Amino acid sequence: MKHLILSALPTVRLIEEIQKRGDDYELINPADLYAFISSTTSGHDRIYKRGEEKSERIKSKSFDAVIPRISGAGFEHGCTIVKQLSENIGIFSTGYERGLKICSNKMLTAQVLSKAKIRNPKQILAHQPTDYKELIDLVGGLPCVAKLQRGSMGIGVMLLETELAASTSLRSFQTLGADVILQQYIESGNPKNDIRVIVIGPETKNVKIFAYKRYALDTDFRSNYSLSGLGEKVELTKEEKNMAVDAALAVGLGVSGVDIMRDALNDDKPYVIEVNGNPGLKGVETVTGENVAGAIIDYVKDNHRKSTKFNNNSIKSISLNSEEISKLSKEEYDNLDNRQKYIYEAEQVEDLL
């Protein structure tokens, strides 16, 4: 089979595991792809790859699966390309546009998780806040954490310990015109830590979980591996495993990194801090010694032809018309995406009018 890795960076471990399995691949920077929307109603949307002289068309048969590894400046465009390849052209993907976008925004993630009955720290989003005291009280008082909605590797996450620190940094956010999330501080113990859980295939019977604990440096409270490089293996409780799988399902990603914090002052009660749509492999593979990249490629190989909760390409939902939809079984109908259902239901109403 042939994999399409969408990334601006080299993805050495994934490529190694693809080659080990005798598969083909192409690594393409999404910035080099164009999404083309056709004017027909029967779905002939396309993707082109920028070429030296002429661009080259990528067809649905060109690849069996997409592995998006997108972040940073090219994220928005990368999401558009992922949507085109997976939803408009119908190629299996380890991540879909909706989930990648949810995970790129911490408040949106918290909304989705909370609606799915998954525990988040108390938090409040304020647009250029001035009433600091009330907001801080709402999330449980000081110390509390302030975060920008977007950011990773700990950038834009700060601890507010005193009223002076809180009012001055919140005033800076206001001056900069930035929205800020204020969040209940979770005391994780010493050294400060959290748990990264890589969830692969949450929508399948064969879900794989890899977890490790990450520690902060003495001088910090943020335990991102990219900041400290410190971690150790960890055993998850049943509740934490379920929480991680439920979070991955709620955002709808086949591969994700769910960050969990244990409240050391409250029987290690677990909270989901965020979900990452593009989790790094280095930390988890170094600390656990497990082959996580291999598990991702195995998930792709086992599922790219199947119809799953996230991947309904075997029903070809995009190219179905209402007559074809009316012939589907209940299970197939349930698997349609909301857009298809909406179109179908709108047509039914028209028939009645």
Ligand X SMILES: Nc1ncnc2c1ncn2[C@@H]1O[C@H](COP(=O)(O)OP(=O)(O)O)[C@@H](O)[C@H]1O
Q: Per rule CB under 6 A, is residue 262 in the interface with ligand X?
A: no
The binding site for Mg ion (CB under 5 A) comprises: 259
277 binds ligand X (CB under 6 A): no
Residue 11 touches which member of ligand X, Mg ion, none, C-beta under 5-8 Å by kind: none
Contacted by 153, from ligand X, Mg ion, none: CB < 5 to 8 Å by type: ligand X
Query: How big is the site for ligand X, counted in residues (CB under 6 A)?
Result: 24
Measured from the CB atom, the residue of 200 and 261 that comes closer to ligand X is 261
Binds ligand X (CB under 6 A): choice among 104, 183, 228, 278: 183
Q: Does 145 bind ligand X (CB under 6 A)?
A: yes
Considering only residues 74, 140, 151, 294, which one is a binding residue for ligand X as defined by CB under 6 A?
151
> Site map for ligand X, 90-129, x if CB under 6 A?
----------------x--------------x--------
248: closest CA among 259, 237, 239?
Answer: 259
Residue 168 has a CB neighbour count (10 Å cut-off) of 12
Our finding on whether 213 is near ligand X (CB under 6 A) is no
Of 1-9, 186-194, 327-335, 341-349: span binding ligand X (CB under 6 A):
186-194
Q: State in angstroms the smallest separation of the CB of 284 from ligand X.
A: 14
Residue 147: phi and psi, rounded to 5, are: -140, 145
Q: Is 194 in the site for ligand X (CB under 6 A)?
A: yes
Asked if 5 is part of the footprint of ligand X (rule: CB under 6 A), the reply reads no
340 binds, among ligand X, Mg ion, none (CB under 5 to 8 A by kind): none
CA 111/CA 257 separation, integer angstroms: 17
Smallest separation (angstroms) from ligand X to the CB of 85 = 26
Shortest distance, position 274 Cβ to Mg ion, whole Å? 5
State which residue has the least CB distance to Mg ion: 259
- Does position 143 interact with ligand X (CB under 6 A)? The reply is no
Which spans of this chain sit near ligand X (rule: CB under 6 A)?
106, 121, 145, 147, 151-155, 157, 183-186, 192, 194, 216, 221-224, 259, 273-274
